[in-house]
Every structure is written in structure tokens, then in C-alpha cells.
């Protein structure tokens, strides 16, 4: 296991055109999506959570196993699975979550699991940090692995689950202080710091201790901030978008997979990686996320598919030169 992820695993029911209350179920949850994406992109990946023994939990377990994710750290419970209902809108997606007392929200391993020595990245974030006792145990797991693993934080803010946004923003400050690599969407940034320029928020993340901050802007690309460097922006491939669910999760996975491919195994190395290498890392992540958007639901691409898309883009760029 080179990459470990902890947090929720749920079933996304996405609105269907078959009727006003017709929904199609997909395995989901931001950490689960990212775990599957990491595995499909070729890195040994493990998932730490608790799954229900109900019919949805069984489906989630089989889905992880089928995608090659190490499930040896997953606990089981007779508590219900978390469910999410998703309505698409032209700009974004609206969510309704059913989380209270769910198996993943009540994850409380005792003692804390010991990550294998070869694990180099640990991801946390999303709605798992809104539920106790899971939120406390996740923070303890992250703290226990600080300095040994590259800690990746993706808040994946879901305002429908946050009754007190001001209190949540204060909690985010603590989570940011744990992170080596922070990945935010522009929507996350606006919710965390309304009216504040994104570069100011990125600077706050760096001041809190992060070595790198990446903000994604959907089809408008993504930007990287590091201390002592100018911002570095990349475009995303133009694709026919079928569904944006899981795009951000796939981008986050692409960052970790590509950073490992560039030899990044310790937090401090994030700050020493050169601009050209970071540009390759960001381009890889953006291409993986774009390919995810060409299919229904969160459906991350394989490593071969990303390499093929990158090669095609390079060939087209060469052919277009005068």
C-alpha cells in the first residue's frame, strides 16, 4: 500500500430522466472515489473506513475489491450505510445526505490502525469530518502519521450538511494545519472564504503549514501555489461532459499518483519539485479528471487511458504547429 485513504463510503443516487423521483445508484463518497481512482491509476491503494453489513455495504465492499483496493483495514458494522441523493444543475450538483448513525460515521477503531511502512500518502477530508466519532479518530490517524506520510486534505465542502458555517470554518483551520498538500475546488474556496481572492486563501493554507495548494476550477483548469514560487496554472482537456461527479476526487488521486511517479515520498519534497515536474503532475491529474467526466457517475480512468489521452494531446499539439 502506497496510498491510504480514510473517510466515507456511500451510495450516490443520481437523478434520472425517467421521472421526477427516479434515481440511479452508484458507489460513491469522495474518499472511496479517490481510492478507486488511485488504484485504477496503478498505485497500491488501501481504504480505512467502516462499512455496513446491509445490502449497500456489501455492494461497496465488492466494488472496492473489484477495483483492486486493499480492504484489509475496513471494519464492518450493522449500522446503516450512508446514502446521498444528487440532483444535477447546469452549474453544479445539489446533494441530500442521509448520514446520521451510519457505519462510516461511527468508525472508531481501537487501537488506531498502523499503516504499512511503504505507505507514503494519506488522504483525509470530506463529510467524514462532520460526524463523530469518525472525525476525531480520523484526525488522530492523521496526527499519528504526520511527517512520515504526505498528508493530503480535500475538504469537499457540502453546505447542506453544515448547520453552522462559521464554526465549520474554524475547524477547517485545524485540518489545514495538518496537511502537506491541500486540494480545493473554487466552490470550496468561496464557501471557506467568501469574497476573498483565491490566492489569499492559498497563502493562508501555506502559512498554516502546507507545502503546496491546488485549486481546481472545473473546465477552466487548475492552479498551484507554493511558498516562494509564482502560481502555476494548467488547462484541462476539452471533452464532452456527461457527468461531473467524481471529477475532483479523480483530480486529487491523479496528484498523488503523479507525485509518486516523480519520486515524491516525503512532505518536504513537495516544496523542492521543479515547475516542469509540477506542470506534468497537474496535467496528469487534469486529464484523469476530464476523462472521468465523459462517463456517468464517478468512473475514474485507468493509467493506460490517461497516458493515451496525454499522448494524443501531445501529437495534436505537434501537428498544429506551423
Q: What are 214-231's pLDDT values in tens digits?
A: 999 988 999 999 999 999
Residue 123 located in a structural domain? yes
Query: pLDDT (tens digit, 9 = 90+) per residue, 18-77?
Result: 777 788 888 999 999 999 999 999 999 999 999 999 999 999 999 999 999 999 999 999
Backbone angles phi and psi of 132, in degrees to 5: -105, 145
Quote the number of domains for the chain.
1
Residue 166 lies in a domain: yes
Closest CA relative to residue 210, chosen from 224, 195, 192: 224
Q: What's CA 170's distance to the chain center, in Å?
A: 21
Q: What is the CATH number of the domain that holds 289?
A: 3.40.1190.20
Give bridge partners of residue 98 from the DSSP assignment.
83
Alpha carbons 192 and 198: distance in angstroms, whole number: 10
Domain containing 296 equals 3-7+30-80+109-319
- Which of the residues in the chain have pLDDT under 50? none
Backbone phi and psi for residue 123, each to the nearest 5 degrees, phi listed first: -100, 140
Would residue 117 count as lying in a domain? yes
Q: Closest Cα to residue 135, out of 46, 3, 5, 6? A: 6
pLDDT reported for residue 176: 95
Q: Classify residue 18: in a domain, yes or no.
A: no
CB contact at 8 A, 240 and 22: no
- Residues 25, 97 contacting (CB under 8 angstroms): no
* Alpha carbons 308 and 313: distance in angstroms, whole number: 9
Q: Give whole-number Cα distances, 154 to 214, 237, 238, in Å.
A: 10, 22, 24
Terminal Cα-to-Cα distance of the chain (whole angstroms) = 46
Helices (H) and strands (E) in the chain — how many of each? 9, 14
Q: Is residue 14 part of a domain?
A: no
Q: Are 104 and 49 in contact (CB under 8 A)?
A: yes
In this prediction the pTM is 0.94
Structural domain contains residue 15: no
- Whether 13 maps to a domain, the answer reads no
Per-residue model confidence (pLDDT) at position 90: 62
pLDDT value for 238: 87
Amino acid at each position: 500500500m502506497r496510498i491510504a485513504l480514510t473517510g466515507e463510503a456511500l451510495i450516490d443516487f443520481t437523478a434520472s430522466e425517467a421521472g421526477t423521483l427516479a434515481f440511479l445508484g452508484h458507489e460513491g463518497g469522495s474518499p472511496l472515489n479517490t481510492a478507486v481512482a488511485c488504484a485504477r491509476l496503478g498505485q497500491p491503494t488501501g481504504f480505512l473506513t467502516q462499512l455496513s453489513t446491509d445490502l449497500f455495504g456489501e455492494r461497496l465492499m465488492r466494488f472496492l475489491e473489484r477495483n483492486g483496493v486493499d480492504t484489509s483495514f475496513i471494519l464492518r458494522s450493522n449500522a446503516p450505510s450512508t446514502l446521498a441523493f444528487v440532483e444535477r444543475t447546469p452549474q453544479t450538483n445539489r446533494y441530500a445526505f442521509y448520514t446520521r448513525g451510519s457505519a462510516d460515521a461511527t468508525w472508531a477503531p481501537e487501537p488506531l490502525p498502523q499503516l504499512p511502512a511503504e505507505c507514503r500518502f494519506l488522504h483525509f477530508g470530506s463529510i467524514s469530518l462532520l460526524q463523530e466519532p469518525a472525525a476525531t479518530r480520523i484526525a488522530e490517524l492523521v496526527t499519528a502519521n504526520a511527517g512520515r506520510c504526505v498528508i493530503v486534505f480535500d475538504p469537499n465542502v457540502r453546505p447542506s450538511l453544515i448547520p453552522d458555517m462559521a464554526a465549520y470554518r474554524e475547524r477547517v483551520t485545524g485540518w489545514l494545519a495538518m496537511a502537506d498538500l491541500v486540494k480545493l475546488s473554487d466552490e470550496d474556496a468561496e464557501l471557506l472564504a467568501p469574497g476573498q481572492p483565491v490566492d489569499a486563501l492559498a497563502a493562508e493554507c501555506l502559512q498554516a503549514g502546507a507545502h503546496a495548494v491546488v485549486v481546481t476550477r472545473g473546465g477552466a483548469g487548475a492552479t498551484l501555489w507554493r511558498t516562494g514560487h509564482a502560481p502555476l496554472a494548467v488547462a484541462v482537456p476539452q471533452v464532452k461532459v456527461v457527468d461531473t461527479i467524481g471529477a475532483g476526487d479523480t483530480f486529487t488521486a491523479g496528484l498523488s499518483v503523479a507525485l509518486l511517479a516523480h519520486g515524491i515520498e516525503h512532505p518536504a519534497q513537495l516544496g523542492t519539485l521543479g515547475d516542469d515536474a509540477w506542470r506534468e503532475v497537474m496535467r496528469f491529474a487534469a486529464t484523469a479528471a476530464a476523462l472521468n467526466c465523459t462517463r456517468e457517475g464517478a468512473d475514474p480512468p485507468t493509467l493506460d487511458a490517461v497516458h493515451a489521452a496525454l499522448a494524443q494531446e501531445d501529437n495534436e499539439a505537434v501537428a498544429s504547429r506551423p
